[in-house]
Amino acid sequence: MYKIVKYGDPILEKPCDPITEFDTPELQELIEGMIETMQAAKGIGLAAPQVGVSQRLTVIDCTTGEDPSQQIVLINPEIMDKEGSQTGEEGCLSIPGFREDVTRARKVTLRAQNAKGEPVEVTGEELLARAMQHEVDHLNGILFLQHLSPLKRDLIRRKIRKMIKAGEW
């Protein structure tokens, strides 16, 4: 299990490096640890930078651990196609306590690699599409705060800064 990195740590706001070595014990360990960490936090997605690893890897499970067959591991994902739009509440394990409406594409198709380096293509709609876009953003150093109005974003940043000062973050 990993400690989840919180907003304020610069690793969350820098683009991650592609993964070039597959099928290694280290990669398998990282994936399993990330899935455990995500489940323990009751999240639906977790990106490697959120556990302090600046690599293009993310895990998603819209059932929050209820159905292991729904676990998705995406390495080096690239969004190929976006359709429609949806607006709904979004949060992030690295920004606990803050949830805001974010507009995203309603349907997304991405290409990625699995732990063996084999190509995979995943199409998701609604919540899965939202999770995929949120997680790919993480790998590019983008947090959901960047999708909010500057006013809302600054308000949240100010609150977090206060919490950091007070040692509550």
Catalytic positions, please? 135
CB 93 to Ni ion: min, Å: 6
In whole angstroms, how close is the CB of 91 to Ni ion at the nearest point? 8
User: Smaller CB distance to Ni ion: residue 60 or 92?
Assistant: 92
Label residue 169 exposed, middle or buried (CB < 10 Å: 0-12, 13-18, 19+).
middle
| Dihedral sign for Cα atoms in the order 109, 13, 37, 2 | positive
Query: Residue 22 Cβ, how far from Ni ion at the closest point, in Å?
Result: 24
Residue 6 CB, shortest distance to Ni ion, in Å, is 11
CA distance 76 to 121: 12
- Nearest by Cα to 71 from 109, 115, 111, 107: 115
Question: According to the binding rule CB under 5 A, does residue 34 interact with Ni ion?
Answer: no
The answer to whether 79 touches 136, Cβ cutoff 8 Å, is yes
Give the dihedral sign, CA 87/91/92/93: negative
Single out the segment in contact with Ni ion by CB under 5 A; choices: 32-40, 90-98, 106-114, 150-158: 90-98
Tell me which residue has its CB nearest to Ni ion: 92
Range in contact with Ni ion (rule: CB under 5 A) among 19-27, 85-93, 97-105, 151-159: 85-93
Q: Which one among 53, 72, 75, 92 touches Ni ion, defined by CB under 5 A?
A: 92
User: Residue 12 corresponds to which tokens in the numbers above?
Assistant: 């969350």
Tell me which residues touch Ni ion (CB under 5 A).
92
